[in-house]
Amino acid sequence: MSTTRQVKCCTGLTVTVREMTGHEISALKQSRNADDDGAYLANQCLVNVDDTGPLYDWPTGQFVVDDLAAGDLAEILIGVRCATFGNEFTFALACPYCGDGHEYTIDLQRDLEHRPMDEEAIDRLLRKEPFQTEVQAGTKTHVVQWLPARRRQLLKARKQAKLNPERAYAWAVSTRVLEVSGVHENGKLAWLEDLGVGMLAKLVDLMDYYDGGINGDIELRCGSDACRKTFVATVPLDSEALWQRPKPRWAKQGRPDHRRIG
């Protein structure tokens, strides 16, 4: 029997997932296509769709990974990871003030913000009606039309980012921007790249807000006694994080009971 866990995703989708098996972890480690890892794991470890929520209209028992809102997939993958190794996650990070590297351990469920997708965003996805945002570029005002992200847009953005790593930010935004008023379809990416980085970041923040899901930013306190400053860092929740086993804390927990585990 494997450990299962119910995951309530940001659109209201509720699923039950199980822990990863050794076979699945080796398949991930050998995988040459990190983009497919998420879909593979979500499909493999899905035990049941308990409630499709308002966004999806799947026939009973069917689960369409490519249709998932980006935030839902992230919640499912974190759920699989927590079912496998528990909620604790350890990562190493350098302090931005003193430069000292330390390991930090967080609880993936309790310490990270899990925000529901904005109701208006769900509504717009259902009606396929984009958001409209005015963006000031130089002396001109453009109306940018964009949609909340689904997995297939993320895939497209990652593929593009691999080909053009230095243009990744604009690419990622361009895959979900449908139209920019006064700009030709073919000039959309160039327009985004010409936009000030601050303005582009504001656009990304806006999109992130309406997407909901897991906010990977967290406040940490430097582990060096001489420093102890607090700073905000982004928890590295990439696909490798999924199979990172937490360090055994025997020193803290004392002698384990050899008669029974689980």
**Helix or strand or coil: residue 51?**
strand
In degrees and rounded to multiples of 5, residue 135 shows phi and psi of -125, 125
95 binds Zn ion (CB under 5 A): yes
- Contacting residue, 94, 98, 126, 178, with Zn ion by CB under 5 A: 98
Closest approach of Cβ 159 to Zn ion, in Å? 38
**Which range of residues in 12-20, 22-30, 104-112, 225-233 is near Zn ion by CB under 5 A?**
225-233
Q: Outline where 65-167 has alpha helix (H).
A: 70-85, 119-127, 151-163
- The answer to whether 147 touches 178, Cβ cutoff 8 Å, is yes
97 binds Zn ion (CB under 5 A): yes
- The answer to whether 13 touches 72, Cβ cutoff 8 Å, is yes
DSSP-derived letter for residue 198 is H
- Contacting residue, 137, 168, 218, 227, with Zn ion by CB under 5 A: 227
Nearest CA to 172 out of 140, 215, 211 is that of 211
Closest approach of Cβ 47 to Zn ion, in Å? 43
Number of residues that bind Zn ion (CB under 5 A): 6
Q: Which is nearer to Zn ion, 130 or 223 (CB)?
A: 223
Q: Which is nearer to Zn ion, 93 or 170 (CB)?
A: 93
How many Å apart are CA 261 and CA 144, to the nearest integer? 55
93 binds Zn ion (CB under 5 A): no
Closest approach of Cβ 88 to Zn ion, in Å? 23
Residues interacting with Zn ion, by CB under 5 A? Answer: 95, 97-98, 222, 224, 227
